């Protein structure tokens, strides 16, 4: 009995001599993936996932209400340099400790927001980027 345990065999589905990931059904990686994803290839599944993604977050949603709460609760001073933040409230005073892009779920998390003066906010969020980009202009 020559039971074939070779890692490389002819795939039962596509017939190509390939690395067999599913030894029971004798399927190559691609064919086995399709079997597990209703006949869709990796590329198709990825394209569908991208399509299903929610549109980009609208920056205004819910943030201003949160800013007002924080404004009412905290001292109006910059967390970084201690500068006074003059009335009225401005969105630029509110800085996300963990960026909205990297941590969208923390966007409306009060503890992730600190008060900063416009100068510190600029340095904190755009500091490295602007200095890197300057050479390109």
By CB under 5 A, name the one of 9, 10, 13, 112 that touches Zn ion. 13
Beta bridge partners of 19: 8
Measured in residues, the chain has a length of 137
By CB under 5 A, name the one of 31, 85, 113, 115 that touches Zn ion. 31
State yes or no: residue 81 binds Zn ion (CB under 5 A).
yes
Contact 21, 33 (CB under 8 A): no
By CB under 5 A, name the one of 20, 78, 113, 115 that touches Zn ion. 78
State yes or no: residue 14 binds Zn ion (CB under 5 A).
yes
115, exposed or middle or buried, with CB in 10 Å at 0-12, 13-18, 19+? buried
Question: Which 3 state secondary structure label does DSSP give 113?
Answer: strand
State yes or no: residue 47 binds Zn ion (CB under 5 A).
no
Binding site for Zn ion (CB under 5 A): 11, 13-14, 28, 31, 78, 80-81, 83, 117, 120
């Amino acid at each position: 009995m020559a039971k074939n345990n070779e890692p490389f065999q002819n795939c039962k589905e596509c017939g190509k001599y390939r690395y067999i990931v599913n030894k029971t059904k004798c399927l190559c990686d691609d064919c086995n993936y399709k079997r597990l994803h209703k006949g869709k290839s990796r590329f198709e599944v990825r394209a569908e996932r991208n399509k299903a993604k929610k549109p980009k977050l609208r920056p205004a949603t819910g943030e201003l209400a949160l800013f007002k709460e924080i404004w009412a609760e905290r001292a109006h001073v910059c967390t970084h340099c201690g500068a006074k933040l003059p009335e009225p409230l401005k969105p630029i005073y509110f800085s996300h400790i963990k960026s909205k892009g990297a941590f969208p779920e923390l966007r409306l998390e009060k503890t992730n927001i600190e008060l900063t003066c416009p100068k510190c906010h600029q340095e904190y969020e755009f500091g490295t980027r602007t200095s890197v980009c300057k050479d390109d202009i």
